[in-house]
Amino acid sequence: GENVGLHLPTLSVQEGDNSIINCAYSNSASDYFIWYKQESGKGPQFIIDIRSNMDKRQGQRVTVLLNKTVKHLSLQIAATQPGDSAVYFCAETLKAAGNKLTFGGGTRVLVKP
């Protein structure tokens, strides 16, 4: 549903631990999903993407999992570092819609040294 201006949920994680960020997407027809990282005062930065015909994709220190049955997406960050502190957004789209993205509400990750 629409975010009505509530504070972002926050995940506090110890440096070196793994982080898991969850996202529920809205459109069962969406066929492409992306995770973005947004640092304060900056634009969203692409982290990793996944197509709907996959259920898992791995990058460098990051893994995205897709569960289409329950319309759930997660981002796992291994060995979280202070530089990972940011707000993380999932986004969904239809290939036919190009880069017209629908963003989720975001999760703030705070890495404790």
Partner 1 sequence: NAGVMQNPRHLVRRRGQEARLRCSPMKGHSHVYWYRQLPEEGLKFMVYLQKENIIDESGMPKERFSAEFPKEGPSILRIQQVVRGDSAAYFCASSPRQGADTEAFFGQGTRLTVV
The Cα 31–Cα 82 span in angstroms is 32
- Closest to 76 (Cα-Cα) out of 88, 62, 86, 87: 62
Phi and psi at residue 95, in whole multiples of 5°? -55, -40
CA-closest candidate to residue 26, choices 100, 92, 108: 92
Nearer Cβ to partner 1 (36/109)? 36
Q: How far is the CB of 44 from partner 1 (least distance, A)?
A: 5
**Residue number with CB closer to partner 1 (84 or 104):** 104
Q: How far is the CB of 9 from partner 1 (least distance, A)?
A: 10
The site for partner 1 (CB under 8 A) is made up of 3, 5-8, 31-32, 36, 41-46, 49, 51, 89, 91, 93-95, 97-106
